[in-house]
Amino acid sequence: MTRFQRIDQLKNELDRYRPLPSAAVKNLQDVYRVEWTYNSNAIEGNTLSLVETKVVIEEGLTIGGKKLQEHFEVINHAEAISFIEEHVRNNEALTERTVKDVHYLILKNIDNENAGKYRSINVRISGSEHAPPHFLRINEEMAQLFTWYEQNKDEMHPVELAAKFHFQFVYIHPFSDGNGRTTRLLMNLILLSHGYPPAIVKAEDSQRLEYYKTLEMASVKKEIDPFIDLIAGCVEDSLKNYLNVVK
What pLDDT score does 149 carry? Answer: 98
pLDDT at residue number 1: 77
Q: What is the pLDDT of residue 208?
A: 94
- State residue 130's pLDDT score: 93
Find the mean pLDDT for residues 232-243. Answer: 96
**What does the pLDDT look like over 50-89, one tens digit per residue?**
999 999 999 999 999 999 999 999 999 999 999 999 999 9
Per-residue pLDDT reduced to its tens digit, 92-144: 999 999 999 999 999 999 999 999 999 999 999 888 999 999 999 999 999 99
- HSE-up of 132 (CA within 13 Å, CB side)? 27
Per-residue confidence (pLDDT) for residue 205, from 0 to 100 = 78
Is-catalytic flag, 173?
A: yes
Query: In this predicted structure, what is the pLDDT of residue 99?
Result: 98
Domains of the chain with bracketed CATH: 3-246 (1.10.3290.10)
The pLDDT value given to residue 132: 96
The crossing angle, in degrees rounded to 10, of helices 179-193 and 158-172 is 160
Q: What is the pLDDT of residues 2-19, one digit of tens each?
A: 889 999 999 999 999 999
The verdict on pTM exceeding 0.75 is: yes
Cα angle value 118/124/127 (rounded, 5°): 135
Which is nearest to 163 in space by CA: 233, 86, 243, 93?
233
Mean pLDDT of 223-232: 97
241 vs 28: CA distance, rounded Å? 9
**pLDDT tens per residue, range 178-223:** 999 999 999 999 999 999 999 999 998 799 999 999 999 999 999 9
| Range 12-33 average pLDDT | 93
Q: Of 77, 103, 166, 173, which is the active-site residue? A: 173
CA atoms 198, 202, 208, 214: torsion sign: negative
What region, left, alpha or beta, does residue 152 occupy, with left being phi > 0 and alpha being psi -120 to 50 degrees? alpha
pLDDT at 103: 98
